């Protein structure tokens, strides 16, 4: 079996270090089996001292693992640092709560090469996902995606899923987003549009049961809606 081209896995984490510790050996095994070369880049971003210390344990002393303790707050900051400092040009953005199956990585490649410079996971609502997702989160996500599609002219039906693939050789401006929090996802789609890159989606039919999100639905949703106006002015005036 041909192995996929060298790839960096980007794991931004805020207090998910215990989850990473439980799953890192499985991720290493999968990457070693299916990829020619790989790195796992863990970016601990504003984690507590107790959680950050976990990454110093012997389990993480591996030549294929790099760890960065980032002072700047926000998931967007962590993702930006990772994109700018990844060892390889093919990057998989993966949520550190490990809610997506590694098998989905197969959908990013054909033979050993990526099928698109920008690929995103699209969660398809079904009984499996509905049962594992709090109702309020489902409703908030649906409303947010409707707003994004209408207000920012983004056709993607799921901008916020925590699994994406980026080829930095083609998607050269992928790290140029300005939002340091969760709306970096939105900017990725707008930056792709500026580069005439058509995002490609892969369907996700199941996720692991996870209640480890760092998002506060009420306060963060209000903040996101305020920031959407700034993003619209910044990008749509030039598109």
The answer to the question of residue 2 being in a domain is no
CATH code of the domain in which 209 resides? 3.90.550.10
Q: How many domains does the chain have?
A: 1
- Tell me how far apart the alpha carbons of residues 231 and 194 are, in angstroms, rounded to a whole number: 14
Q: Are 77 and 65 in contact (CB under 8 A)?
A: no
Nearest alpha-carbon partner for 2 in 38, 34, 39: 34
Question: How much is the pTM?
Answer: 0.87
The answer to the question of residue 210 being in a domain is yes
Say whether 118 sits in a helix, a strand or coil.
strand
* Residue 211 scores a pLDDT above 90: no
The answer to the question of residue 138 being in a domain is yes
Q: Which domain holds residue 217?
A: 7-236
pLDDT for 130 equals 58
pLDDT digits (tens, 9 = 90+) for 48-76: 999 999 999 999 999 999 999 998 889 99
pLDDT for 131 equals 64
The answer to the question of residue 1 being in a domain is no
Q: Are 158 and 121 in contact (CB under 8 A)?
A: yes
The answer to the question of residue 180 being in a domain is yes
């Amino acid at each position: 079996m041909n192995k996929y081209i060298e790839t960096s896995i980007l794991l931004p984490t805020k207090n998910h270090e215990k989850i990473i510790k439980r799953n890192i050996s499985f991720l290493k095994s999968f990457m070693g089996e299916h990829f020619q070369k790989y790195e796992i880049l863990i970016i601990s971003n504003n984690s507590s001292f107790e959680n950050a210390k976990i990454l110093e344990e012997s389990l993480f002393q591996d030549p294929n693992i790099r760890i960065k303790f980032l002072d700047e707050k926000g998931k967007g900051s962590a993702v930006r640092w990772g994109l700018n400092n990844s060892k390889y040009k093919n990057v998989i953005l993966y949520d550190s709560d490990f809610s997506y199956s590694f098998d989905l990585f197969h959908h990013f490649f054909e033979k050993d090469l990526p099928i698109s410079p920008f690929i995103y996971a699209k969660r398809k609502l079904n009984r499996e996902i509905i049962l594992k997702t709090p109702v309020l989160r489902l409703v908030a996500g649906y409303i947010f995606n409707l707003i994004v599609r209408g207000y920012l002219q983004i056709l993607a039906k799921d901008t916020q899923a925590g699994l994406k693939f980026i080829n930095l050789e083609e998607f050269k401006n992928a790290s140029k987003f300005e939002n340091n929090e969760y709306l970096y996802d939105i900017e990725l789609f707008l930056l792709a549009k500026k580069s005439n890159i058509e995002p490609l989606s892969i369907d996700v039919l199941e996720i692991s049961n996870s209640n480890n999100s760092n998002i506060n639905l009420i306060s963060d949703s209000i903040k996101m809606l305020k920031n959407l106006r700034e993003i619209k002015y910044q990008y749509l005036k030039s598109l």
